[in-house]
Amino acid sequence: MEKQAAGAPGGSDGAGPNRKPWGSPTSGTASGETPDSPSGSHVEWCKQLIAATISSQISGTITPEHISREHKVTHTHTHTQTHSALPALRYGAQGKMFQNQVPLLPGETIQTTMKDVMYICPFSGLVNGTLTITDYKLYFTSTEREFVLDVNLGVISRQETISVPNQGENTKGLELVCKDMRSPRFAYKTEENHPDVVELLAKHAFPLSHNLPLFAFLYKEQFPVDGWKVYDPAAEYRRQGLPNESWTISRLNSSYELCDTYPSTLVIPTNISDEDVRRVATFRAKHRIPVLSWIHPETQATIVRCGQPLVGPSDRRCKEDERFLQIIMDANAQSHKLSIFDARQSSVALTNKAKDGGFESESFYPNVELNFLEIPNIHVIRESLRKVKDVVYPTIDEAHWHSNIDQTHWLEYIRLLLAGAVKVADKLESGKTSVVVHCSDGWDRTAQLTSLSMLMLDSYYRTLRGFQVLLEKEWISFGHKFAARVGHGDENHANSERSPLFVQFIDCVWQMTRQFPAAFEFNELFLVTVLDHLYSCLFGTFLYNSEQERMDKEVQSQTASLWSYINSQPEDFTNPFYVDYQNHVIYPLVSSRHLELWSSYYARWNPRMRPQVPVHQNLKELLILRAELQRRVEELQREASSSHSLSSSEHSPSPTHTTGTPLHTAV
């Protein structure tokens, strides 16, 4: 099988007949699309931000058409939504913004409006205007120039009272510390007839802490595409060639009795009894037994995920667990070994062993090799991203930019994660060996590693729809604790469970798109949109901690899917450079010099980080041109085929002639 890392010539490590190396990215290629030229919708808002048009907004040069956000315009002064024919979150020339007019989403209602509020802009000072608070967003419009700022309330992590000098005794200051790397600040005068702004914001920014529903359950948009149908477990496993003689699709967890954080549909070895599976569950953290995530189409080597074994300080054993892993190894006739990748730092794994956790002993698991990937835990990653925010917002120290970024260690942790995923992928592809991946509980670093390695190995997951399937499968259905890690609707910002593990994963994906600009069907705007709605609570996709919780809350019937929105306008999220080469394996280069800070996401609120050349509109034009050229190619092929057929008929023998020379086709 030929394998190839980004920027490297093709190698020849165990060539397979159908799986091909991916060509190296060309220097200077526009591998990181930078959206621009806004014309409406949340998508268009992202385009503004990624293209850093904030500075033009602040300077007052933006036109009404550019003042676009993730909602429709309402042409009524009541607090109810006026329905239009435009899709949700989209509006173009019709959606011009005027002073005191607040666009609302279907189901969104205004809670209060305050005049004489000051936005304390970190770049241009005080901006006077009107502040409107709905049950979904905070919306500020300037009374001095055409400037709009809105913040969806789901992105707020906490509120802090700040001092506002020289503005009078009855003036209060408020800072909104957000999860998306910004902290807008406002000053307002307190009056008797005004509601308490802090209390009102807390009520709707943290609805679960105030016995209110998340806004996703109030959002009433109807989309032409049903995103909840994107992922069908049976169809995805069928695509992988499952079930087969070694692996079966089990319904043992159909009622979530075996493991309440696993999906109802699992793929497990055929040659193991239900009773043995139950015994294995008691030996694995959170009952998260080893289950198949992906199978190699040629070698049958597999990626298996699970929780840590509960060996404890006394080195407990479980014969059923040992046999389970032996069966996994035996299912792959290409190798007589099984590689276990423990994502944790070895020192942490030893500490967990003292707390009744632990790791597999090579003495008890024959032909198993154990590898520690030394990836830090959730607390280290949380602190690292906090340091990144300090570097990029609100001001940037240009003279010490690189050293300041280095001190956050963010790119080092990105490197460790990508390096671990490359090891997993290469063990399957080149080593033809099945792997087992786990961390402590198997829902954080495990999801990062399995999904990244599957992204490298399987070109389907690099398509727009395939990536959605990957997220639904490896992250959402397998119980990444989105509610705990993000803190949806929860005012307890200091909760130690919070950590940006999913952001780190998406950053790794972005790094891969930079190195392989033609390998991914989706663009940078898609990744930014996914992260924005990780926090927004507008869609039900990332809500709650497990499939069981989402079933109990009736998420699919009561909320809209993010994929409904994405797949209703796929052209906005499509990479025009994408080449549909199937069965190509990609290995990103993971040395520090090949990684960079994702500035167009982390520093998008800072106008000083704007790119020199906004390119999103050019990319959309390229998509149109590509489609036109493809149509022309197909026309020429038809013309050539028709011409060839005509020429053949003119020179071929008569149908009654049977002695002509036969045509030989080389095979």
Catalytic residue set: 439
SS3 per residue for 548-604: HHHHHCCHHHHCCCHHHHHHCCHHHHECCCCCCCCCEECECCCCHHHCCCCHHHHCC
User: In sequence order, which residues have a C-beta less than 8 Å from that of residue 267 and are 6 or more positions away?
Assistant: 237, 242, 243, 247, 248, 249, 250, 291, 292
Query: How many helices (H) and strands (E) are present in the chain, helices listed first?
Result: 20, 16
Location of structure tokens 């005794």: 169
Q: For residue 288, what are the contacts with CB-CB under 8 A and spacing of at least 6? A: 259, 261, 262, 281, 305, 306, 307, 441, 442, 443, 479
Q: Check the annotation: does 135 bind a ligand.
A: no
Is 440 annotated in a binding site? The answer is yes
Q: How far is C-alpha 9 from the chain's CA centre? A: 30
Phi-psi region of 190 (alpha: psi -120 to 50; beta: other; left: phi over 0): beta
Please indicate if the annotation marks 445 as binding a ligand.
Answer: yes
Q: Is 378 part of any known ligand binding site?
A: yes
Chain-centre distance for alpha carbon 460:
16
Is 443 marked within a binding site?
A: yes
Three-state DSSP string of 86-98: CCCCCCCHHHCCC
How is 622-649 classified by DSSP, letter by letter?
Answer: HHHHHHHHHHHHHHHHHHHHHHHHHHHH
Helix crossing, 501-515 with 445-457: angle to 10°? 20
Q: Give me the sign of the Cα torsion angle 549, 454, 307, 344.
A: negative
CA distance between the termini of the chain: 22
Q: Confirm whether residue 354 is marked as ligand binding.
A: yes
DSSP 33-79: -------SHHHHHHHHHHTTTHHHHHTT---GGG---SS----SSSS
Distance CA 440, CA 482 (A): 17
**The amino acid at 130:** T
User: Is 352 annotated to bind ligand?
Assistant: yes
432 is in an annotated binding site: no
128 assigned ligand-binding residue: no
CA torsion angle for 623, 51, 65, 182 (degrees, to 10)?
Answer: 130
395: which 2 tokens?
């001001």
Asked if 462 and 519 touch (Cβ cutoff 8 Å), the reply is yes
Residue 90 and residue 44: Cα distance in Å, rounded? 8
List, as residue ranges, the binding site.
352-355, 377-378, 439-445
List, as residue ranges, the binding site for substrate.
352-355, 377-378, 439-445
